[in-house]
Amino acid sequence: MPSTVPSGALPAPQRLRQLRTMVRIRRFEEALIELAQAHDVGHFHVYIGQEATGGPALALLEDGDVAYSTHRNHGHLLARGVDPNAMLAEILGRATGTNGGKGGTLHLAAPAHGFPTTSASVGGPLPIAVGSAFAFRELGRDRVSVALFGDGALEEGAWHEAANIAALRQLPVVFLCENNSVGAVTQQAGDYPSSTLAVGTLADLARPFGIPAVVIDGSDSGAVHAAMSEALARARSGGGPSFIEARTVRWPGNQGIWAELVTGRVQVHYGWDPATIPDPHRAWFAEHDPVVRAVREALASGAGRDAIAAIEADATREMAAAVAFALASPWPDADEAFANLYADPRVNALATGRGAVR
Ligand SMILES: Cc1ncc(C[n+]2csc(CCOP(=O)(O)OP(=O)(O)O)c2C)c(N)n1
Ligand SMILES: [Mg+2]
């Protein structure tokens, strides 16, 4: 059994910084779900319920470190300071988006913030993250590459290849597995942690490669902070890769294919006044919601209710402004469709004789 990391005691200013990131992520996605009720946004995935993993973990990265995200990337990018206006515009396909409207929610990338590329191909980013770590090693740079992925990615062959090379070469990469299958609809008590993986503990998959692995509660920002700090220190000191399995409980609005705001918006006062939590989702908010938990932990560290309420008000305002910005943004020019392509389909069409693309 891999070791577990206890929750660290963090001072109030740090707890408030973590909470601010987590509340901003939550408000962003709540606003997105509401927006999708009135506009045709298409399909997207939300990070609700996992904010205490990506927020505190990615806050520890430094300039020049890179991270590779997934179809569930919104929280990751916000945690590293990407502009929510440009993110929401990208999700709506607008010219002002992070990728000029071409990537959409599944491929939000922000190279200046350490996200060189994002892929919704489950498991696909794992070898790419290892490749970046290899480049850092070869170029003599003291940088770390982080592979962010869900439990499902461990079902892919790409994981085994990536883990092998990372271990063989002792590369500076952190494998951060976000196991959100705890409590999934398809899961019965005593079942596997993922719907189709035949292993009891996902972190055990790192053991044959000799990669140090820990299992943590992904809703515990202190534990995330401690585990990620250790993994980053190992990578930066030449100690090679690490594996973290962060377990979270699925948000009730994420049980189907389309996210639904069944719980309503979270309120920070649920943290000090649990009697105000609406009945149907009382258990989730009180026992599993990482934002409400972070509020309680911030209070326990000495932070005041006013400071916490101000974080919520700011985030609510900020994300309402992002919605307005995205909706007012123009669509990309038609000519842009052929810009920044690896292969120009017009040339390709001529070469293959399949007819011209107008
Ligand atoms: C290679 C590949 N196969 C299948 C899919 C379809 N797909 C999209 S999300 C998803 C589930 C992924 O599960 P997990 O990695 O645990 O991420 P989660 O959605 O639970 O955060 C699948 C199978 C895909 N995007 N890529
Ligand atoms: Mg999953």
Q: Could you write out the three-class secondary structure of 311-348? A: HHHHHHHHHHHHHHHHHHCCCCCHHHHHCCCCCCHHHH
For residue 178, tell me if it sits in a domain. yes
Ligand nearest the Cα of residue 152 is 1
217 CB near ligand 1 (under 6 Å): no
For residue 347, tell me if it sits in a domain. no
CATH number for the domain harbouring residue 36: 3.40.50.970
Three-state SS at 168: helix
Q: Which atom of ligand 1 is nearest to the CA of 153?
A: 15
Q: What is the DSSP letter of 205?
A: G
When divided into structural domains, the chain yields a total of 1
150 CB near ligand 1 (under 6 Å): yes
**The residue type at 96:** T
291 CB near ligand 1 (under 6 Å): no
For residue 339, tell me if it sits in a domain. no
Q: Which atom of ligand 1 is nearest to the CA of 156?
A: 1
Three-state SS at 245: strand
218 CB near ligand 1 (under 6 Å): no
Q: What pLDDT does residue 9 have?
A: 80
Q: What pLDDT does residue 63 have?
A: 97
Q: What pLDDT does residue 341 have?
A: 80
- Could you please report the per-residue DSSP string of 15-28? HHHHHHHHHHHHHH
- List strands edge to edge, sheet with 145-150: 3-4, 213-217, 242-249, 173-182, 145-150, 66-68
For residue 350, tell me if it sits in a domain. no
Q: Please give the structure tokens belonging to residue 114.
A: 């350490």
Q: What pLDDT does residue 3 have?
A: 43
For residue 207, tell me if it sits in a domain. yes
Give the residue among 34, 18, 12 at the shortest CA–CA distance from 323: 34
CB-proximal residues (5 Å) to ion ligand 2:
150-151, 180-181
- Could you please report the per-residue DSSP string of 26-75? HHHHHHHHHHHHHS--------TT-HHHHHHHHTT--TT-EEE--SS-HH
133 class by beta-carbon count within 10 Å (0-12 exposed, 13-18 middle, 19+ buried): buried
Domain that includes residue 174, residue range? 3-332
For residue 348, tell me if it sits in a domain. no
For residue 33, tell me if it sits in a domain. yes
10-residue mean pLDDT profile of the chain (358 residues): values are 55 97 98 96 96 98 98 98 98 97 96 97 97 97 97 95 98 97 56 66 96 97 97 97 96 88 97 95 95 98 97 98 98 89 71 55
For residue 349, tell me if it sits in a domain. no
